[in-house]
Every structure is written in C-alpha cells, then in structure tokens.
Amino acid sequence: MTGRKPGPVPSGLERYYILTDGRSAPTVEATGLDVATLIVARSAPEPGSRPEHEAILRNCRDPLSVAELGAYLELPFNVLSVLVADLLNAGGVEARDPIAGTRDGAPDLALLEEVLSGLQRL
C-alpha cells in the first residue's frame, strides 16, 4: 500500500476503512438493509471471528434493529451495513425488513389496523 499516512491509532474514516476492509455501502440499496430492519442471530460467534461481528451476534440474540445496533456499537450505518451483510452472507444472522404499508401494490389494511390498535392501547 503506498501513500498511506502513518498514524498511531486509526480514527474516523481510516478506522472504518479498516473495519470493513475498505468496503463501503453508502446507500441503503447497496445492502438492502434499512435502519428499521431487525437483525436476529442464528448462531453463536465462531471462535476467532472478528470482534465487530461477534458484537453484532451478541447483541442480536433477540431481534434488534440496525439503528439500535448502530447506536449501541457506535458505528455509522454504512459501516454497520457492510458488517451485517458479511454475517448475512455467512448465514450467521437473519434480517427482517420493516413491513411496508402496501402489499402487492395495495394498502395493507390489516397491518394499518394492527398499528392503530397498538397505538390506541398506549
């Protein structure tokens, strides 16, 4: 690698570069993950897996949104997306996208009704 500026502790963008092996997913479309996507671990971390992957698995024993993971792990969304995508590809986690208000182009009235009754109980 040429041109790399020497520095004692990587921080900021450089740290994120290292965490993701230089990959970045600046758009939601790139990984298909949404901030409200729920991530659920399907297995325990493999011995020797990288700490960030292990942290994701540890936090997703119960479903947890990508947004919450980002807040707890203090990782920006685009960096977290790459790490979660690794786990998805390896089958370590399951991802459940938020349910949209429409289904097959038609409004999902049953879902809207369910949301409404939930709010009315608050």
Partner 1 sequence: MDFNGFDRPAFPQRAGALHAGSRSVKVMVAGGFGTGKTTMVGSVSDIVPLTTEETLTQATVGVDDLVGVADKKSTTVSLDFGRISLNEQLVLYLFGTPGQERFWFLWNGLFKGALGAVVLVDTRRLQSSFRAIEEMERLNVPFVIALNMFPDARSYPAEEVREALAIDPHTPILTCDARDRASSRDVLIALIRHIKERSAAALEPR
**Binding positions for partner 1, rule: CB under 8 A:** 1-5, 12-14, 16-17, 22-24, 26-29, 34-38, 40, 42-45, 57-59, 61-68, 70-72, 76-79, 96-101, 106-107, 109, 111-120, 122
44 vs 90, beta carbon nearer partner 1: 44
Sheet holding 93-96, edge to edge: 64-65, 38-41, 93-96
Phi, psi of 13 (to 5 degrees): -60, -35
**Shortest Å, Cβ 18 to partner 1:** 9
57 vs 88, beta carbon nearer partner 1: 57
**Shortest Å, Cβ 71 to partner 1:** 4
Q: Provide the phi-psi class of 86: left if phi over 0, else alpha when psi is between -120 and 50, else beta.
A: alpha
Spatial separation of the C-alpha atoms in residues 79 and 77, rounded to whole Å: 6
The whole-angstrom distance between residue 50's C-alpha and the CA centroid of its chain comes to: 16
Half-sphere exposure of 117 (CA within 13 A, CB side): 5
5 vs 89, beta carbon nearer partner 1: 5
